[in-house]
Amino acid sequence: MTEHQHTTSKGVWAIRIAGLALLAYTFAMTFLVPLGPGIQDVVVTQTELTDKGGVYEVEVIGHGTHFSKTAPRVFLLRGKGVLNATAVKSMDDTHLKCRVRLPAVIPSPSFDVYVNNEIDGTMSYANGFFASGLKVVSKATLPDEPGVLENLSASNLGFHFPFQPNIMESIRNLMLHVPMWFTMFLLMGISFAQSIRTLRLGGDPDRDLRAVASVKVGLWFGVLGLLTGSLWARFTWGAWWVDDPQLNGAFVTVMVYAGYLVLRGSVQDAKLRSRLSAVYNLFGFCLLVVLLMVLPRFTESLHPGKGGNPAFSSYDLDSALRAAFYPAVLGWMILGTWMYSLQLNMERLTQRIADARLTRACMPLPLLLVTPASTTALEDVFTTSGKMPVVTGVAVIILAGLALWWIRAAQKLRRLTHEESNLNSPSDA
């Protein structure tokens, strides 16, 4: 085997430092940029119901809002009909109460709730108001009270992430969870390219090592993506796992590459192993493209940005999210390729030592296990303060997973280097 003198050039180090800087920026943005204000929930209680109509007590629960510092206005909207709420009373910054009077005959029982004030601008909650007990006639008209619509104000806040109902603070996962998959795809792409080279060169062992190194690192990112996605799904969709084309595709991807490692483990001959696994890698990657890029386009999906079309441009990103998301993707990718080069180093060292000893060391697959604890207690913990703990949990999972990788890699590299120097030293018998 040729000697691979491994000297990392200054340019590579500059890119790595830049990548770390990008990740620092990502984490700062993820945790420090405030979330825009929004309506978290609307609670409606009926107080009066006569044949003239109904009176409803409405409690609006906001997140990140400034109700007590301003004079908020509340109105209901259905089609062109606008109804102003009266007796608006701010309890505190995130709670306000008001009263709504509806006629006996309404065109639809559900209304969108709008809250407007000088600091937060206009916030809405689709179908937040449901009027029970009234007669619904689709041709009925509502009193048009457009007074509020004329003085809507844009929000008066600084740089912030957009508020989405239900998702709330966990929108920050865009900078943590999503780049895991981007990085995994980059690494699997590297592996794909290296497998093509392997076959072109008739089973080149070093190209094969590159392919397996990138699969191992990519698999690590894939598992982190699954774990973080599962945590997020629990507190967004209510289940650790839902039947969804995007999720199935992600799981199958991880299984296919785990199968790749199993296949490698069962072939002894290096040349045959490099060719067999390269063929499987190419075949698998092509089918994955079908599974992940083509089939989900024809099915409904719950996954954000995936409503029938998983194209990247359909993410409804706003400028604040873009400013954090693109650097995050770049930073994670640089980290991923850095880990790839370390993993490659390990694979080469292992191979050289095994060659020297004429035995093959078996590398155990890393296994991560998650045992869900009591669900109700978790619910209480994770859904407080706009699901911010979900973001923290995701960050902890990623940081712990990556820390595990780096500690393992450092230990292993040290051990392998030591072993190799022992092999080379003449005193060793």
For another protein, the binding residues (CB under 8 A) are 199, 202, 245, 248, 252, 255-256, 259, 262-263, 266-267, 269, 271-272, 275-276, 278-280, 282-284, 286-287, 290-291, 295, 298
Q: How far is the CB of 151 from another protein (least distance, A)?
A: 51
DSSP, collapsed to helix, strand or coil, labels residue 92 as strand
Q: How far is the CB of 415 from another protein (least distance, A)?
A: 29
Shorter beta-carbon distance to another protein: residue 49 or 267: 267
Q: How far is the CB of 215 from another protein (least distance, A)?
A: 14
Q: How far is the CB of 250 from another protein (least distance, A)?
A: 12
Nearest to 248 by CA among 292, 216, 307, 304: 292
Q: How far is CA 414 from the centre of its chain?
A: 34
Q: How far is the CB of 261 from another protein (least distance, A)?
A: 10
Q: Within the chain, what is the greatest distance between any pair of CA atoms?
A: 102
Shorter beta-carbon distance to another protein: residue 157 or 279: 279
Shorter beta-carbon distance to another protein: residue 199 or 378: 199
Query: Can you tell me the distance from the alpha carbon of 180 to that of 213, in angstroms, rounded to the nearest whole number?
Result: 17
DSSP run (H or E) holding 115: strand 110-117
Q: How far is the CB of 256 from another protein (least distance, A)?
A: 5
Shorter beta-carbon distance to another protein: residue 14 or 286: 286
Determine whether 378 is exposed, middle or buried from the number of CB atoms within 10 Å of its CB (0-12, 13-18, 19+).
middle
Shorter beta-carbon distance to another protein: residue 179 or 245: 245
Q: How far is the CB of 295 from another protein (least distance, A)?
A: 6
Query: Can you tell me the distance from the alpha carbon of 232 to that of 390, in angstroms, rounded to the nearest whole number?
Result: 6
Where on the phi/psi map is residue 179: left (φ > 0), alpha (ψ -120 to 50), or beta? Answer: alpha
User: Phi, psi (5° rounding) for residue 115?
Assistant: -125, 140
How many other CB atoms are found less than 10 A from the CB of residue 254? Answer: 17
Pull the structure tokens for residue 372: 């869900």
Query: Can you tell me the distance from the alpha carbon of 201 to that of 216, in angstroms, rounded to the nearest whole number?
Result: 22
Shorter beta-carbon distance to another protein: residue 202 or 426: 202
Shorter beta-carbon distance to another protein: residue 293 or 400: 293
